[in-house]
Amino acid sequence: MDKKIRTITVTQFDYIIRNFNDEALDIEGHPNNFSEFDQDGNILKEMKYNRFGEFEEMLRYGYDEKGNLIHESLIAYFIPFRSPRMNDLHEKDKSIKFAIELWSEIISTMKPKLIICLGDDVFKNVKKLFPVVSAQFSTKLGWGEITADVYKYENDCRIIKLPHLSTFKIFSRKECEPYIDKLLTEATKDW
């Protein structure tokens, strides 16, 4: 039986000298990159971390029965700078301008069919990158008056606007399941 690599984890180790007179080194390790493969050796997932070991982006890949790449997904922060809330963001206007320019490049290169935005702040800025909305669908999520929306654009890209998942844990709440199914069905209709 052949053994095949299923995952690779790259850990970055920083060697730190606290002061010039200290002969001992402190060693701090954190994740740098993680890759997962299927039984045929095709890459399924790549995760990248920043220099502090915090998640930065994830790429996911799908293959047909012949092993041909049929889709890839990019999961990343809209604004690649750390801040607990948009209002706390350092140099907010410059950061948003940079993010819009960055994502304009990413979107023109990848030509995504579906984008998922978490929260109104992100959606408000991402929608600036697209032409006119051709259709909109809204649904409650089984969490009071909280809603999610699907926007369809003339270039056939769809954007799902969800409430921020750090506050509304809609994917783990049983009452939300039928609404999530309805939302995803609407978002992928006519593909």
Judged by phi (left if over 0) then psi (alpha if -120 to 50, else beta), residue 72 lies in beta
Q: Which residues contact 190 (CB under 8 A, 6 or more apart)?
A: none
Name 82's Cβ contacts closer than 8 Å, sequence gap at least 6.
54
Estimate to the nearest angstrom the gap between the alpha carbon of 113 and the chain centroid. Answer: 14
What is the pLDDT, as a whole number, of residue 151?
92
Parallel, antiparallel, or unpaired: how do β-strands 69-76 and 114-118 relate? Answer: unpaired
Q: How far apart are the C-alpha atoms of 159 and 55, rounded to whole Å?
A: 23
The residues near 137 (Cβ < 8 Å, ≥ 6 apart) are 149, 150, 152, 183, 186, 187
Q: What is the pLDDT of residue 1?
A: 56
Say whether 89 sits in a helix, a strand or coil. Answer: coil
> Could you give the dihedral angle defined by the CA atoms of residues 97, 102, 169 and 191, in that order, rounded to the nearest 10 degrees?
120
SS3 139: strand
Supply the pLDDT for residue 191.
65
**Centroid of chain to Cα 1:** 37
pTM of the model: 0.68
pLDDT score at 39: 87
Please say whether the beta carbons of 34 and 7 come within 8 A. yes
SS3 category, 163: coil
Q: CA-to-CA distance for 155 and 133, rounded, in angstroms? A: 9
Per-residue pLDDT, 65: 81
Contact between 6 and 44 (Cβ < 8 Å):
no
- Show the low-confidence residues of the chain (pLDDT under 70): 1, 191
